[in-house]
Amino acid sequence: MDERRSARVSEAMREELAEIVGFEMADPRLSMVDVVGVQVGPDMKHAHVMVSCPGGAPEQDLALEALERATNFLRRELARRLNLRRMPELHFEAGLFVESGDRLAQLLRRARKTRGREELS
C-alpha cells in the first residue's frame, strides 16, 4: 500500500477511535483513556492502536481488557464511518509514547514561531 495512504488511513482511524472511546462508550474503565496513535500495516490486515492511560499498571490492564472486549463494536463502528474495503484487526497497546510528546513539542514550537512572525508584521 502507498505510504501516504497508510498514513491517511491511520490518522482517520485514530480520529474516529478517539471520538468513539472518548465520547460514545459508557465503560468507566475507559473514562481517562486517550487514543494517541494508530499504525496500519502495509497489507491493511492489522492496526496497532496506541492508547495512553493515566495511573499505574492495574488501570492500564483494566483499560486494555475493556478495549479488547469492545474490539468487535469498535471495528463495526469504524467500518460504518470509514469507507475501507477491509477493516483491519485492532491490537491495543498501552503506555507512554514518546513520539506523541515529541510531536506536541514540535507543534508548540511551530505555533510560537508563527505567532512571533505575526506580531512583527
Domains of the chain in start order, with CATH, are: 3-120 (3.30.300.20)
Confidence check: pLDDT of 120 > 70: no
What does the block give as the cell for 32?
481517562
Q: How many degrees, rounded to 5, is the angle at CA 41 between CA 37 and CA 45?
A: 115
pLDDT at 98 over 50: no
Q: What CA dihedral angle connects 8, 35, 105 and 57, to 10 degrees?
A: -140
The secondary element (H helix, E strand) that includes residue 79 is helix 71-81
Higher pLDDT, 84 or 70: 70
Distance (Å, whole) CA 1 – CA 42: 5
Q: What percent of the chain has pLDDT over 90?
A: 51
When pLDDT is averaged across residues 24-48 and rounded to a whole number, the result is 91
Total-model pTM: 0.75
